[in-house]
Amino acid sequence: MKDKKDTPKRGSGVRLEWKRAPVPETKRIELLPVEQYRSGEHDSENAPGMFIEGDNLQAMRALLDSGYGGKIDMIYIDPPYSTGRRFTARTSPRKENRPPVDVDAYEDSWTGGLEGYLQMMYDRLAAARELLAEHGSIYVHLDWRAAHYVKIVLDEIFGMENFQNEIVWCYREAINSKLRWNRKHDLIFMYSKCDRFTFNYREVLEPHAEANLKKYRHEDELGRYRLMGRGLKGSPIRSARDVSPDWEKMRPELTYRHYLKEGRLPVDYWMIDIVNQASCERTGYATQKPITLIERMLRASSNPGDLVADFFCGSGTLPSAAHRLGRRWIACDSSPISADVTRRRMLSSKTPADFDILRPKGKKAPSAGKLQAVSKASENSVDIELVSYKSKATAAGENNGLDLITFWAVDPAYDGKVFRPVWWTCKGARNSAVKFKANWIKVNPNEAGKARILACDIYGGETFYVIDD
Ligand SMILES: C[S@@+](CC[C@H](N)C(=O)[O-])C[C@H]1O[C@@H](n2cnc3c(N)ncnc32)[C@H](O)[C@@H]1O
């Protein structure tokens, strides 16, 4: 890279350089499953979902090494936007009288400024291209800050001929600026790998405008229609629109029925509300995107059963949407808060998702604190009650305690490698509370391994507790 003197400033005749390679070299890691969530029986079969906690370039490299090259049908990424800011996640502790706590989720500032940011993006986009199937597409979500520079990187990696759309996502939000036009849209670039890419336009048809609907006044067994003149030479009604049905009775050869199509063909500007404070899908993760936005891309560019991925997963919007639409998914994020929020989101959905959590070999989740529990075992089951908790992350003088716990689960026979809970409770997106008691948890006296609790707190840390210690 260039020396400091050469570092371009935004808006000063930018000359950008990045190290180019099909898949940039990075530290090789082995991904190991550490948690396994199943709504039915645990089995060895792969789950439809996989969350990788760690750096996404290393994760993508590891996926390529384990045979995922060309296997992902659709990728959506919503990376940091080069804002120079730090983003938080807000959680309200269980007790009502406690104020919400804002915890750092991730940092969006880059060594080398814009150039450093673009190098980071170049490396990840190059790896993402290798993972994408031939018929696949990638959607890259950005805003006014870096979008136009990343577009050039995308052109280089995917080829200008594979640029398909610049989608403008418009949203209503507080309008404050009197200095310039208020910035109320994001940009989403869509690229394919070749010209035979999946695009299910029927899945994303838009509703007709009311005024248009009104024109289709008649109806028969085929649907709603307008009666039109055929445009024949010498016809008294020529190409007239909305002619009287009398013409059809008297001179059917001069008319035809124009049927209302299922919907309007989709366009590249979308008006979708942001996840506002009152929204029941709100997780507290600062840059959470609306699920309807991601569902729209998934419906158009993938089919049920396809494998889709988001390597900057944040609050788990893509995994949630994929689960709802019956797609298999891979998600990755380096923030422990993302792991906690995504895990809870997937488990508190109407039908809990089956998924695995993977981490690079040797990497542990940040340790959370000290948990105390009491248990009462009978022959085939155990009752557990949490009695106290002290988080390491709580500053002196701040309240501590059980209500900082966002999630806990019980594996009755932990094998020391993969935590396979048979029971869990969590703070869900709809503000459901964490229970502190678990009754009748089935244990199999013949199974090796000790019963364990895994608990997470609002700071994203994890604590293990051995029940029969
Ligand atoms: C804009 S947020 C994504 C928000 C997400 N679309 C949602 O709906 O919640 C960007 C995410 O990228 C993650 N991230 C940034 N750099 C990363 C890296 N190198 N590897 C993995 N995740 C990264 C951050 O932790 C953050 O959660």
Domains of the chain with CATH codes: 4-198+267-360 (3.40.50.150), 207-259 (no CATH), 369-466 (2.60.40)
Parallel, antiparallel, or unpaired: how do β-strands 328-333 and 307-310 relate? parallel
45 has a pLDDT exceeding 50: yes
122 has a pLDDT exceeding 80: yes
396 has a pLDDT exceeding 90: no
Question: What pLDDT score was predicted for residue 450?
Answer: 81
Please state the length of the chain: 469
Which of 1-10, 221-230, 314-323, 420-429 has the lowest average pLDDT? 1-10
**How far apart are the C-alpha atoms of 435 and 171, rounded to whole Å?**
37
82 lines ligand 1 (CB under 6 A): no
Question: What pLDDT score was predicted for residue 428?
Answer: 79
Three-state DSSP state, 122: helix
Q: Which tokens sit at 83?
A: 């804002």
Ligand 1 mean position, distance from CA 54 (Å): 11
Q: Which residues fall within 8 angstroms of residue 178, CB to CB, at 6 or more apart? A: none
112 has a pLDDT exceeding 80: yes
Query: What are the residues facing 374 on neighbouring strands?
Result: 385
369 lines ligand 1 (CB under 6 A): no
Ligand 1 mean position, distance from CA 413 (Å): 33
**How far apart are the C-alpha atoms of 461 and 467, rounded to whole Å?**
19
Question: What pLDDT score was predicted for residue 335?
Answer: 96
Q: Which atom of ligand 1 is nearest to the CA of 341?
A: 9
287 lines ligand 1 (CB under 6 A): yes
391 lines ligand 1 (CB under 6 A): no
Sign of the torsion formed by the C-alpha atoms of 435, 38, 364 and 374: positive
Question: What pLDDT score was predicted for residue 94?
Answer: 66
With cut-offs at 50, 70 and 90, classify the pLDDT of residue 43. low
Question: What pLDDT score was predicted for residue 144?
Answer: 96
DSSP string, 280-295: TT--SBTTPPPHHHHH
**How far apart are the C-alpha atoms of 58 and 63, rounded to whole Å?**
9
pTM comes to 0.91
427 and 343 Cβ atoms separated by less than 8 Å: no
320 lines ligand 1 (CB under 6 A): no
Q: Which tens digits make up the pLDDT trace of 303-342?
A: 999 999 999 999 999 999 999 999 999 999 999 999 999 9
- Provide mean pLDDT across the span 247-252: 96
Which of 88-102, 212-226, 268-282, 328-342 has the lowest average pLDDT? 88-102
With cut-offs at 50, 70 and 90, classify the pLDDT of residue 99. confident
Question: What pLDDT score was predicted for residue 44?
Answer: 58
With cut-offs at 50, 70 and 90, classify the pLDDT of residue 42. low
Ligand 1 mean position, distance from CA 338 (Å): 8
332 lines ligand 1 (CB under 6 A): yes
**How far apart are the C-alpha atoms of 302 and 321, rounded to whole Å?**
12
Mean model confidence pLDDT for the chain: 91
- Provide mean pLDDT across the span 406-413: 94
**How far apart are the C-alpha atoms of 283 and 433, rounded to whole Å?**
14
Ligand 1 mean position, distance from CA 244 (Å): 59
Query: What are the residues facing 76 on neighbouring strands?
Result: 139
Sign of the torsion formed by the C-alpha atoms of 334, 340, 343 and 348: negative
**How far apart are the C-alpha atoms of 150 and 188, rounded to whole Å?**
11
Question: What pLDDT score was predicted for residue 427?
Answer: 87
**How far apart are the C-alpha atoms of 95 and 106, rounded to whole Å?**
26
- Provide mean pLDDT across the span 78-107: 86
244 and 250 Cβ atoms separated by less than 8 Å: no
**How far apart are the C-alpha atoms of 169 and 185, rounded to whole Å?**
5
- 141 alpha-carbon distance from chain centroid: 11
59 lines ligand 1 (CB under 6 A): no
Q: Which tens digits make up the pLDDT trace of 131-171?
A: 999 999 999 999 999 999 999 999 999 999 999 999 999 99
**How far apart are the C-alpha atoms of 252 and 401, rounded to whole Å?**
80
333 lines ligand 1 (CB under 6 A): yes
Ligand 1 mean position, distance from CA 307 (Å): 20
- Tally of CB atoms within 10 A around 18: 18
Which of 170-174, 215-219, 318-322, 395-399 has the lowest average pLDDT? 395-399
User: 188-205 in b/e burial notation, b at 16+ Cβ within 10 A?
Assistant: bbbbbbeeebbbeeebbe
Question: What pLDDT score was predicted for residue 397?
Answer: 61
Query: Amino acid letter at 32?
Result: L
81 lines ligand 1 (CB under 6 A): no
DSSP string, 225-294: EEEEE---TT-SSTT-SS--HHHHHH-GGGEEEEEPPSSBPP-SEEE-----TT-TT--SBTTPPPHHHH
Question: What pLDDT score was predicted for residue 32?
Answer: 96
Q: Which residues fall within 8 angstroms of residue 148, CB to CB, at 6 or more apart? A: none
Q: Which tens digits make up the pLDDT trace of 287-298?
A: 999 999 999 999
119 lines ligand 1 (CB under 6 A): no
